[in-house]
Amino acid sequence: MQEKADKNGSVLLITIFVVAMLSIIVAGILHINTQEIQLMQNQVYAAEALAIAEAGLNDALAEIRSDNEWDEGFDEKSFAGGSYSVDVSGDVPNLTVKSTATSARGFVARVEAEMTVETGDPTYTIRIDTLRINEEEGQDD
């Protein structure tokens, strides 16, 4: 009778150990999945900011197409819950357009285009010579 009682105690200890190990494994998997979801959300939010910056560049290109002397830029123009600012520098035919966007969630993206504007009658031809995406200020090719 004493042997049976000893065996019951060891089975209980093994069961508790297995349950504890499984709990640790499940908690680890949940932690990893939470991090992966956060990384995925950050990637989506960064893509959203980049899309807003590209919208700013396209808005500036539309202005330049209608008036090749346009160089006013935009300051915190609202778009898709975020905003973009556009700076235009240089003289025709060589212009540089920088668009900086902030998404609704605070992510920032930058797009810079160095372009050549060829005047013609009745339209203008705009050729983007260099396009930089999310490069820091002062960084070269």
- pLDDT tens, per residue, the chain with 141 residues: 455 555 667 888 888 999 999 999 999 999 999 999 999 999 999 999 999 999 999 999 888 888 878 889 999 999 989 999 999 998 878 899 999 999 999 999 999 999 988 877 666 678 888 888 887 765 554
51: in domain: yes
Is residue 138 domain-resident? no
Residue 80 lies in a domain: yes
Into how many domains does the chain fold?
Answer: 1
104 within a domain of the structure (yes/no): yes
What is the span of the domain harbouring residue 79? Answer: 2-133
DSSP 76-120: EEEETTEEEEEEEEEETTEEEEEEEEE-TTS-EEEEEEEEEEEE-
Whether residue 139 lies inside any domain: the answer is no
Residue 116: inside a domain, yes or no? yes
Q: Does any domain span residue 141?
A: no
Taking the mean position of all CA atoms in its chain, how far away is CA 102?
10
Q: What is the pTM of this model?
A: 0.75
Asked, for residue 140, whether it belongs to a domain, the answer is no
